[in-house]
Chain A
Amino acid sequence: MTTTEPTIESTNSTEVEITNIGVDFGSVTALESISLSITDGEFFTLVGPSGCGKTTLLRSIAGLETPSHGRVSIGGRDVTTEPPEARNVGIVFQNYSLFPHLSVADNVAYGLQFHELSGERDPEGRVAELLELVDLPGFGDRKPTQLSGGQKQRVALARALAPEPDVLLLDEPLSALDARLRKKLRVQIKTIQRDLGITTVYVTHDQAEALAISDRIAVIKQGQIQQVDTPETVYRQPASRAVAEFIGNNNVFQGRVADDGRQLEIGGTLLPLPENHNRAPGTSLTVSIRPEALVVADSKQVDPAVLSATVETVEFLGDAYRVHCRWKNKSVLVTTAATTPPEGTVKLHFDPEDVHLL
């Protein structure tokens, strides 16, 4: 498989436009005012802890949830009051939700009776085409009960894609599968999405999954959007402490800008800040630094940008060690590619430019 850079910048029209959407369940607010623009052909992921409202947002796009206020438009058409069957979206749920009384082929063909296919294509040919696409040719006559979890989910994907929807909605589609299968299937989903160029909204609580397959990510917490950006930006420049702590492993420290304006003071220790940080001396400040930006220093090496931490636990990851240290009663996470695990007291240094201001 070859990996090419996604080229969403070339087609720039907005496919899904969400304006000030809010959803209340009785007295509980599931979503506060949320606005999002999802570009045509984009793989867009909503990520956040469970209960954050990401599924409610997805269901609002599908028309399965009625927003208390706000607007949803798909392909430039306002669909806020349209029922799901009038929106031309395809949806895949976590637990497959195949129609248990229908064969695989009938499941995939179900949506075709309500849609005109583009070109001169017959439904049977379309079903075969889709089963081919999801790597399940010849499975048409089976019943859902005769399939494995991964196979069921691929049938559900084929069923959602069959009527050529404008938007593909995926609600934690891989969460019911085991880790190995999950990784395999997410590559398959990404490949199919890119080949078809279909606008996709993907919901997951797994930040690693979100980083791996998305063109853009929206991080959601407690019904509010924290950050919308490419995986790289969200990872390297988290917009808030919540994002920094949710996406990937991270070390977050709180302190104040020292009087010289160039260092961060945490409990009497001074650590360097990146140049051009434009924070005034004396202001309190939260910073994050990724575990892989911390380097376990040679004992002989003397460097000013150093934390002196105690190793507590070491995890062997195969290609690296993840070291749990303690520094000033705070836990500090370090990833190191060293061939032997560090122990005792270690000195950690870092490039000041890797310190991210929150």
Chain B
Amino acid sequence: MGPPDREQLTMRAKASRLLPVGIAAMLTTLVVVFYYPVGSVLSSAISAGGRLTLDPIVAVLGDPFYTGSAHSLVTAPASLPRRFAAWVNAGMPAVDFGLFGFTAYQALLSTIVSVAVGLPGAYLLARFEFPGREFLRSVTILPFVMPSILVAVGFLAMFGRSGVVNDLLATVGLGPIRLVFTLEIVILAHAFYNAPLVTRLVTAAWESVDTRSVETARTLGASPLRAFRDVTLPQLVPAILTASVLTFIFTFMSFPIVLALGGLQLATVEVWLFSRVQNLALVEAATLGAIETALSLGLIYVYLRFEATQISTHGKEHVRSRLPLFGDWRSISDPRRLGLFVYCLVAAVLFVGPILSLVIESLTTPDGAFTLDYYAFLFAQQASTAVGTIQPLAAITNSLLFGFGALVLAVPMGVLVSVVATHEGRGSRVAEALLTAPLAVSGIVLGLGMLRTLVFGITVFGHRLTVTGPIAIVAAHAIAAYPFVTRNVTPALSGIDDRLVDAARALGADRPTVLVDIELPLIAPALIAGAAFAFAISIGEFDSTVLLAEGVDSATMPVALERYTANRSLGPNLGPATAMGTVLLVVTTGSFMLIDRTGRRWER
């Protein structure tokens, strides 16, 4: 490519003049709905009565409840060698690291289980050919857009005291098993979310391994296993590490799943933070939020470092031919295939089970008879005028309205970040960091911040300004959703060949025409997919919504679902919750697929 001519330079100059305007607009938005609210929360962790202090943070870190044995690092650092010696003398017993320790521990276990469940899936999808492979590969995205509270209710419907599993066990005279409020079920539910993520990332890496390099290793004398260990595995490790760190981040900050399946006795930092807010211990909550944010920023930094080490090979033309999964009769005795069939059974139970159980439980009485009572109950709620009743229809309308609002806000925000991310230059790196930072802040902290500032009101030049709950909710949802737009659009945008633009301009199109005729159609599928994500994320968002939907008027479906789950006085058992959950399931998958389908029509 030759040096850019003057015409191109002026075009770029124009484009670069427009970009700062966009960045400024978005940063202003972020400052109002993100940095200021979150900052106000974080500042109360480091200030008291208008002066800076570390007291709240020291108080939390020095509290054995939060940091366990590590609290003495803060309270009595001098005694550490003595304590360490005493610990060694006592035969190194298990150490308790408090709430933070437990949160990290469950995140670590969840990560290990997610990787263990996800890797065979990657092996299956990357190395075997079978009918429905492409479909299976594309549905691995679905768990990610499932509202987490919905998944939690699905797990309750499956593993709960009167759930599907116990019903089945009872028919053969076994059981019941108790899994609710155990660490196991929390970890399983985390695996439901994150194992498909591991599968996706590792499958992509596996498929990009140049088959010829594996063959070369074979001709140089390596056995199939050695070739895998020496050539394939090293190229998978970055993807496995990236997926692990992401899973750790997600499960470290996980909220509705732990809340619904673990309860307060298995509380993680995020759940405890929520309960502190409910108990109006706001300084303590703010301090927890500040520490959590610092930790997740650190983890995201680690993640970005890992992601950067991904080796990009351009061996696309030599995708290794996949083995037929269903070969001739001999393949039945192949241990690899046998293992994969067992894996498929386990995966079907883990991934389809909870969703199916949700639907089944919503239609059956505890005795196993068919019933529509729970749906009738939802209608009864709709007609009820009692104070504090969440009306199902209102919740559905709210969810759809907020989802649409979040989509409208999140798509331009996400696209802007993509444009910045694909731009060269130091300034855009800084802008990208500022624009990406919201990823590190939990929904609870954001919700709390918005509640304290925008919703309760702020005074600007003597005027008291308040923002209503719904607007705050839409803003919070947009902030949760736009990173997903960015993740979809950035690869499409950076994949556009600059020469296409040059070619179109040489053919006589002016720059705006090129944008409409060439670039937009090329990124449209990614844009639509991003929009579908934004919508689904908004519909499923629970963390900030549960705080911001203070009344019943702005409650969304996930909030209603949580109410029905937690408050059994509303109904005989889990029934109403599963009915509400089924409605949420239908609305979420339906709208996700609708947007995605409409998008595909564009593609053609």
Contact = CB atoms under 8 A, between A and B. Distances in A.
B221 A95 contact: no
A85 B213 contact: no
A97 B210 contact: yes
B215 interface: yes
A159 B222 CA distance: 13
Nearest to A156: B216
Nearest to A98: B213
A110 B214 CA distance: 12
B235 A101 contact: yes
Contact of B213 (A88, A99, A169): A99
Contacts of B221: 85, 88, 111, 113-115, 163
Contact of B318 (A90, A95, A99, A100): A95
A83 B311 CA distance: 29
A247 interface: no
Contact of A101 (B216, B219, B224, B311): B311
Contacts of B231: 99
A100 B230 contact: no
Contacts, number: 76
A228 to B, nearest CB: 24
B317 interface: yes
Nearest to B318: A95
Given A97-B210, A98-B213, A99-B213, A91 B219 contact: yes
A114 B220 contact: yes
Interface in A90-119: 90-91, 93, 95, 97-101, 110-111, 113-115
Contacts of B495: none
Contacts of B384: none
A114 B222 contact: yes
| Main SS at interface, chain B | helix
Nearest to A92: B216
A95 B315 contact: yes
A84 B218 CA distance: 6
Nearest to A87: B219
B219 A97 contact: no
Interface string B191-223: 000000000000000000010110111111111
Contacts of A273: none
Contact of B220 (A64, A95, A159): A159
A84 B219 contact: yes
Interface string B345-371: 000000000000000000000000000
B234 interface: yes
A89 B315 contact: no
A62 interface: yes
Interface centre among A63, A101, A113, A160 (most CB of B within 10 A): A101
Interface centre among A62, A85, A90 (most CB of B within 10 A): A85
Contacts of B215: 62, 64, 84, 91, 93, 97
Interface residues of A, number: 30
A259 to B, nearest CB: 57
B138 interface: no
Contacts of A62: 215, 219
Contacts of A111: 220-221
B459 interface: no
A38 to B, nearest CB: 17
Nearest to B221: A114
B279 interface: no
Contacts of B230: 99, 110
A119 B218 CA distance: 24
B89 interface: no
Interface in A270-317: none
A160 B235 CA distance: 21
Contacts of B318: 95
Contacts of A169: 219
B222 A101 contact: no
Interface string B209-252: 01011011111111110000011001100000000000000000
B217 A99 contact: yes
Interface centre among B212, B230, B313, B315 (most CB of A within 10 A): B212
Contacts of B235: 100-101
Interface centre among A64, A83, A97, A113 (most CB of B within 10 A): A97
Contacts of B216: 91, 93, 97, 156, 159-160
Interface in A62-76: 62-64
Contacts of A101: 234-235, 311
Interface string A162-176: 110100010000000
Contact of B212 (A90, A97, A113): A97
Nearest to A145: B311
Given A97-B315, A101-B234, A83 B218 contact: yes
Nearest to B227: A85
B219 A110 contact: no
Contacts of A110: 217, 220, 222, 230
Interface in B313-329: 313, 315, 317-318
A277 B84 CA distance: 102
Given A95-B212, A114-B222, A163-B220, 7 more contacts: A62-B215, A90-B220, A97-B216, A97-B315, A99-B234, A110-B217, A156-B216
24 contacts: A62-B215, A63-B219, A84-B218, A84-B219, A85-B218, A85-B219, A85-B220, A90-B219, A90-B220, A91-B215, A93-B212, A97-B212, A99-B213, A99-B217, A99-B231, A100-B235, A110-B220, A110-B222, A114-B221, A159-B220, A160-B219, A160-B220, A163-B220, A163-B221
Interface of B: 210, 212-213, 215-224, 230-231, 234-235, 311, 313, 315, 317-318
8 closest A-B pairs by beta carbon, nearest first, are A114-B221, A111-B220, A97-B212, A84-B218, A97-B213, A93-B212, A101-B234, A91-B219
